[in-house]
Chains A and B, each alone.
Chain A
Amino acid sequence: GQQLNQSPQSMFIQEGEDVSMNCTSSSIFNTWLWYKQDPGEGPVLLIALYKAGELTSNGRLTAQFGITRKDSFLNISASIPSDVGIYFCAGQKGGSNYKLTFGKGTLLTVNP
């Protein structure tokens, strides 16, 4: 079953604000991935993290692989209307090359 706790479940923010969301687990993961899903489409990979402590940016997005390997966070700076969507974290455990565990998602709404 689900082993990733993603929070918050939803966020309503004003355009220009910064956003932070995170995933935590009682299990250790070797890889953390962050996806975004637009309505009616499949998830699209935003950022991949491979090492504990790793901090990676992709434009206005920044994600970190927690030092304990049990958590990760995603920050979005200076939000814009097209940031609207559902953001998912996903983790891959060691010895499980084909199985990702997904969080339940964070629904982001940006008010112009």
Chain B
Amino acid sequence: NAGVTQTPKFQVLKTGQSMTLQCAQDMNHNSMYWYRQDPGMGLRLIYYSASEGTTDKGEVPNGYNVSRLNKREFSLRLESAAPSQTSVYFCASSEWGLNIGLHFGNGTRLTVT
């Protein structure tokens, strides 16, 4: 039982390049989330998916797109990476909403040069 698995763990991009961050959970959770973590800023919600087939914007969605591929998988895409998107990205899941908290993956550390 791996929980929430994120790939890749590290990535370096040049400005303007695109990439997709992958996330999968094996806990049969309905809701999935993407957060970014920056020094001194805590965690900020980028997008979330309340259930399979739905996605909604969070606090900082600009420059990102998401796909809820199925119940297990929720991907985050950067179409044209910018240095301001240098961050650590965390995927999380919850059974349904936030009532029992979030389960986080171990993060993807992204650097955009």
Binding site for B on A (CB under 8 A): 1-2, 4, 6, 31, 33, 35, 40-45, 48, 50, 88, 90, 92, 97-100, 102-105
Contacts and interface: CB of A to CB of B under 8 A. Distances in A.
A31 B101 CA distance: 10
Contact of B92 (A42, A48, A50, A103): A42
A97 B30 CA distance: 13
Residues of B in contact with A, size category? 20 to 34
Contact of A100 (B40, B45, B107): B45
Contacts of A35: 101
Given A31-B99, A100-B98, A42 B45 contact: no
A94 to B, nearest CB: 12
Interface of B: 4, 31, 33, 40-45, 48, 50, 56, 58-59, 90, 92, 97-107
A105 B38 CA distance: 11
Contacts of B50: 97-98
Nearest to A48: B101
Contact of A45 (B44, B102, B107): B102
Contacts of A2: 41-42
A42 B4 contact: yes
B98 A31 contact: yes
A70 to B, nearest CB: 18
Contact of A43 (B41, B97, B104): B104
A99 B97 CA distance: 9
Contacts of B45: 99-100
Contacts of A42: 4, 90, 92, 104-107
A104 B4 contact: no
**Most chain-B Cβ atoms within 10 A of its Cβ — which of A44, A88, A97?**
A97
Given A98-B33, A99-B98, 16 more contacts: A2-B42, A33-B101, A42-B105, A43-B90, A43-B102, A97-B50, A97-B97, A98-B50, A98-B98, A99-B45, A102-B44, A103-B42, A104-B40, A104-B41, A104-B42, A105-B42
